[in-house]
Amino acid sequence: SNFFTHKYGIKFFIVLRGIVEPVLVLIARFYPILKYPVELYGFVFGFVAFAYWISMDAITVKFTDNKARGSQQSFIYGAMWLSVIIAPFIGGLIIKNFSYPVLFFSSLVLILSGGIISLFMDMDMKINKKFNFFPKLNSKLSKHMVLVFIRGFGFPYIGWLFTLIVYEFVKDEFIVGTFGLILGILSLIATFVSGKLVDKVNRKWLMSIMFFGMSLSFVILGLGFNSSILYVLMCLAHFFHQFISVPLNTIFFNEIEKLDIVTLVSERMMAFSLGGAISLFFMLILDYKTIFLILGPLTLTALFYTKEL
């Protein structure tokens, strides 16, 4: 994605997502007939989604003001989380009153419309022809890259594995769906609250509190994985993880707004993805409890790097 963004510009993956996702929606609809490898489907979907966020981060830097970047981000990401919360209900209404094919068709039209609209958006941005395969850790932004790596390490759990853990415990789709709804609401609250605070109070102080809270949540999860407070701890960890996003973005975006934005947001996504990939590898060889006990101390090291920003 870094290579293609450098070659074709920041609009490339936004437009591509508007084209590819409708195709993926159609392919998902015909899975019972096509029987394609779900691993390949997941790879393509994940690649396009993560590449999309490189472009979105670059655009956010360009179109937000450094004096109000926190609150402006909260509206951008808040709209996203609001759609995540509302979408299942709309989807359920469509299925109840119409059918699954109508749901797939509606999704196709909506995503395709987004791709078409992006064609006409002004996204011109100078890109220095510098391409790196790994984030540079010898620059003044190296501390930030380490923090993003740590946050990326916890993302597979925060992002989607928590819901699978809940399903393993209860084997009830309704409870899993309710839990997912709660996480979405917490993400929305965290985004708006952090966005309002980040422009008014010390960002490093905010991030330190959230990293400490997330670290403590992971440690307690590891020590009492089968306890009755499992759901509360997962909700807290998710809230802290999401809260960190806006202040971390704001500090980084303010640093790079006059530099090579596209290259640096690409390297930042590499650091995030590298953390997630290593975390997923540990999932293959370790149990949940052990990984939580690793995540706790690892997240706590973020306090040192936050202080050095």
pLDDT at residue 91 greater than cutoff 80? no
Rounded Cα distance between 99 and 95, Å, is 5
Q: Where exactly are the structural domains of the chain?
A: 2-119, 142-307
Rounded Cα distance between 45 and 27, Å, is 11
Class of residue 202 by CB neighbours under 10 A (exposed 0-12, middle 13-18, buried 19+): exposed
The pLDDT assigned to 153 comes to 92
Q: Which residue type, as a one-letter code, is found at position 224?
A: G
Tokens of residue 141, six digits: 């932004």
Under CATH, domain 142-307 is a member of which superfamily? Answer: MFS general substrate transporter like domains (1.20.1250.20)
Q: Is the CB of residue 21 less than 8 Å from the CB of residue 111?
A: yes
- pLDDT top residue among 177 and 302: 302
Residues in the chain: 309
Beta-carbon contacts of 177 under 8 Å, excluding residues fewer than 6 positions away, are 88
* Triad 185, 145, 40: Cα angle to 5°: 65
The pLDDT assigned to 27 comes to 78
pLDDT at residue 132 greater than cutoff 60? no
Where residue 239 falls among pLDDT bands split at 50, 70, 90?
very high
Beta-carbon contacts of 25 under 8 Å, excluding residues fewer than 6 positions away, are 104, 107, 108, 111
pLDDT at residue 283 greater than cutoff 80? yes
Where residue 294 falls among pLDDT bands split at 50, 70, 90?
very high
Q: Tell me which of 126-135, 287-296, 298-307 is least confident.
A: 126-135
**Per-residue pLDDT reduced to its tens digit, 174-211:** 788 788 888 989 999 999 899 889 888 888 899 999 99
Rounded Cα distance between 163 and 231, Å, is 10
The pLDDT assigned to 38 comes to 76
